[in-house]
Structure 1
């Protein structure tokens, strides 16, 4: 995927406060949230994470697939078409580039099973829309709040970018770091967390 280069000189700690120091919705779940379920699925490229998320989500209807990918070029458009074919029937596809929390708040109640794929592209879209890295954590918390307001399960997919080679330029390294902290915030709040390797799921939480 094409990532946005970040030219800022702020450290990763500046971008996201240390976990456990963030007040508000990322604290312990309230009893009123018991009807919602956040499932977080992580993996590298072609790890099988999207297929696994679809398997988890397809047992319940009606179900929605929230797609965050945008066809910036022909290669990306081809990837999107391939994912659309692989979902098959029974999924209502919603294309949301940045405002996932808004859609969940307004429309999420109609779908007891929702797959959001994926957060890494969502992050890329936010940065392309001139959201500052220091603001990303507030978007993540808003997303978590919206998930907790849903009455069913929300399965969120994201890329694990921290296991490969260190990126060769500062912008790509910054994007990797912001994505890693984003994933940590979501994983801390999730009811279940899965890591996919070669199509095999490992439950972490």
Structure 2
């Protein structure tokens, strides 16, 4: 078994601005991910609106299958109207070899879906907010509901930290529907998935239904153009919950976190207020 990487140099002939360059590359990246189920990142290339270098990594497989898939990806890019292929190289590595060297410096323009995870009071929300401080307009989608005095104090603390020009939307369950109220090209902070999953369980939703809703949420987030930061809880590192519902919640949220992490361009784990980038 081997893994394969295609590094391809692209020319964007009609791109007249950095914004248009980002939009074109995002469309190309989404097409690659959906069509071939691959990981894609932009790596260092020429500093130009009209040039880019993408690294495309396939799932592990036999050598002949990987060569076939990589060739299909190359043919697809050569026929893509958004870009022109100006150069490429293909590499195969034994399973277990790290391809991280192809993804060392992913550019911010494509890192528009970021997942931030961490334990309780780890500083994850504060760090997630810091990622959007420079954005001219931010929509904050909150999933928490006031259930007691302690939760009310937590919500107040979160509200007090947000800049006054941020827009706040509160939706405990129907996140995909709530996204329709947010302009696609504006920055979004969704905080947090852990509470959202808890809300759905309490509302009587089944595990399969909740996981399907999570997949629909991911699809909606991937369609956005603006930078999107999603906060979740890391709940699988502590004691085993004593109740059956607690164990269901832990397992379900763990699965949903994996779905989000796989779709995200970047993933951070926050421990003791210190963020660690774990993807790419």
Give TM-score scaled by structure 1 length. 0.81
Query: Could you tell me how far apart the structure 2 residues matched to 1:29 and 1:59 are?
Result: 28
C-alpha displacement of 1:58: 1.7
Contact kept, 8 Å, 1:36 with 1:148, in 2: the verdict is no
1:99 equivalent in alignment to 2:174: yes
- What residue ranges of structure 2 are gaps of 5+ in the alignment? 1-33, 41-79, 83-108
Q: Which residue of 2 aligns with 1:53?
A: 128
1:1-205 matched pairs, under 5 angstroms: 27-28=37-38, 37-104=112-179, 106-109=180-183, 112-205=186-279
C-alpha displacement of 1:72: 1.0
| Higher fraction of strand | 2
Q: Which has the higher contact order (CA 8 A, sep 6+)?
A: 1
Q: Which residue of 2 aligns with 1:4?
A: none
Report the aligned-residue RMSD: 2.3
Contact kept, 8 Å, 2:211 with 2:252, in 1: the verdict is no
List per-residue Cα deviations over 1:128-149 (Å, max 9, x = no partner): 2221011112111111111122
What SS does structure 2 have at the residue aligned with 1:123? helix
Give TM-score scaled by structure 2 length. 0.60
What SS does structure 2 have at the residue aligned with 1:204? strand
Alpha carbons of structure 1 residues 134 and 110: separation in structure 2 relative to 1, 3 Å? closer
Deviates more, 1:34-43 or 1:71-80: 34-43
| Greater radius of gyration (CA) | 2
Alpha carbons of structure 1 residues 53 and 109: separation in structure 2 relative to 1, 3 Å? same
